[in-house]
Amino acid sequence: MNTEISLKLIKASLKSRVNSYAPYSGIHVGAALLCSNGKIYKGSNIECASFSLTICAERAAFSKAITEGELNFEAIAISSNQEDYIFPCGACRQFMIEFAEDLTVVLVKSEKEYKTFNIKKLLPNNFSIKQKK
Ligand code: THU
């Protein structure tokens, strides 16, 4: 991923926090998912009074993309309104690796402050029922 694209992705993740619906936790999360064809899908967290129904920003972004027919993903940028980096929850790690075994995960504090991980590092020895090559 070149610098121009990563900056675009980071900006999109920061922007998508605006549509977060998080009246219960006050934690507003934004995600921006980069497809191999260059398209970016934004997502934000959606909370519910029945708390366990909450949808994380990452899964919102993946759901949007997949339901539009996308299946090849390069990277996801994740940001929030919190001071520190926000790491994807366990459920999102499992969900993301289902669709992107080599996904680059960019954790974003600001346009200039971010760090990058591979999904395999965030979820080593992941559960899978797919045949390993
Ligand atoms: N949240 C995300 O959107 N992504 C994560 O990976 C971690 C948690 C949201 C869910 C909930 O709305 C709020 O952060 C607090 O848990």
In terms of Cα–Cα distance, which of 45, 56, 52 is closest to 18?
A: 45
Catalytic residue among 4, 47, 58, 101: 58
pLDDT bin (cut points 50, 70, 90) of residue 122 is very high
How confident is the model over 67-88, as a mean pLDDT?
Answer: 98
Please tell me if the CB atom of residue 79 comes closer than 6 angstroms to any atom of ligand 1.
Answer: no
DSSP state string for the chain: --HHHHHHHHHHHHHHGGG-B-TTT---EEEEEEETTS-EEEEE-B--SSGGG-B-HHHHHHHHHHHTT---EEEEEEEESSSS--PPPHHHHHHHHHH-TT-EEEEESSSS-EEEEEHHHHSTT----SPP-
pLDDT of 61 higher than 80 = yes
Percent pLDDT > 90 in the chain is: 94
pLDDT at 132 over 80: no
If you average pLDDT over residues 60-72, what whole number do you get? 98
pLDDT for the residue numbered 46:
98
Is the distance from CB of 108 to CB of 79 less than 8 angstroms? yes
> Could you confirm whether 58 is annotated as catalytic?
yes
Share of the chain above pLDDT 70, in %: 98
Q: Higher-confidence residue: 130 or 59?
A: 59
Cα 71 to ligand 1 centroid, rounded to whole Å: 23
Nearest to 76 by CA among 53, 101, 99, 58: 58
Distance CA 22, CA 54 (A): 9
State the average pLDDT over residues 23-37. 98
Residue 56 near ligand 1, beta carbon < 6 Å: yes
Kindly report the length of the chain.
133
Q: What is the pTM of this model?
A: 0.96
